[in-house]
Amino acid sequence: MAKKRGTSIVPMLMGIIGAVLQLPGALCAGACAAGLSSGSSSSTEAGNTFLGIGLFAALIGFVCGLFGKKNPVIAGVGLLIAAVLTGITLVTFNFFSLIALILFLIGGIMAFAQKKEEVQA
């Protein structure tokens, strides 16, 4: 049975660069969410939630970006999930998260659109 393998390194690069940019984006999202809700008692919870979502998106983007050539379907789905999670952190008007979102989207789309080659398993 032959498996399909990707031929492009674009999903891997977009996943890794997006994850690196999402790390400061996650910190900024957590700090901004805590600052925006400073009038309420749940400001720490909001900051921790957005920080956690941002870090989880960076982790998923990095790990799934590494699968870009080996298994492009897993890479594409993972990068699109990372893009959605990064989009959630855009509520805090974060420039790093915006760039990471664009890179995750490009990587996810390229993972599905790239040429695939047959590899004997």
Q: Which two tokens stand for residue 37?
A: 């809700």
Q: What does pLDDT average to over the chain?
A: 85
Domain range for 11 is 2-120
pLDDT given at position 18: 92
Which residue in this structure is represented by tokens 């749940």?
Answer: 42
Cβ-in-10-Å burial (0-12, 13-18, 19+) of 19 comes to buried
Q: Does the CA dihedral 13-14-19-21 come out positive or negative? A: positive
Provide the domain count of the chain.
Answer: 1
Q: Which two tokens stand for residue 106?
A: 């490009």
Cβ-in-10-Å burial (0-12, 13-18, 19+) of 31 comes to middle
pLDDT tens-digit readout, 17-69? 999 999 998 888 888 877 777 666 677 787 888 889 999 999 999 999 888 88
pLDDT given at position 68: 81
